[in-house]
């Protein structure tokens, strides 16, 4: 079992920046993927960005050029730097941990709220 704790959500004005953090603890495998997802009211949860232990990243088209995902493997922590925030970025942001070795394992955090005012 892996536990995830997100932090950093806040109310920010459009054009502003925020940095989210997600700290993982528990049975963390050396090879894994961590990512950020978001869910806005009335919408499905969607991938924002993900990063592997080898630092391969993947971004949703809507955040490319504005958001940057990074991780500190020594601290088992993943970060999401969000710049040029837009009102449509308003959502609950969830951290996710996945590994396929030796078996598939998937964990979610409880989420942190990001509100972008216009």
Taking alpha carbons only, the member of 35, 18, 47, 14 closest to residue 109 is 35
Instruction: Please write the tens of the pLDDT for every residue from 7-40.
Output: 999 999 999 999 999 999 999 998 999 999 999 9
Return the pLDDT at 40. Answer: 97
Cα torsion 68, 45, 17, 15 to 10°: value is 110
Instruction: Please write the tens of the pLDDT for every residue from 33-77.
Output: 999 999 999 999 999 999 999 999 999 999 999 999 999 999 999
Return the pLDDT at 101. Answer: 85
Return the pLDDT at 45. Answer: 98
């Amino acid at each position: 079992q892996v536990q995830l704790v997100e932090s950093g959500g806040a109310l920010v004005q459009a054009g502003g920046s925020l940095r989210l953090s997600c700290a993982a603890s528990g049975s963390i495998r050396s090879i894994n993927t961590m990512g950020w997802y978001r869910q806005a009211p009335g919408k499905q949860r969607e991938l924002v960005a993900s990063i592997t232990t080898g630092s391969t990243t993947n971004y949703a088209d809507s955040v490319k050029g504005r958001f940057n995902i990074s991780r500190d493997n020594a601290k088992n922590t993943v970060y999401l730097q969000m710049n040029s925030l837009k009102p449509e970025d308003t959502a609950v942001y969830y951290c996710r941990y996945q590994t396929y070795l030796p078996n598939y394992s998937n964990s979610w955090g409880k989420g942190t709220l990001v509100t972008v005012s216009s």
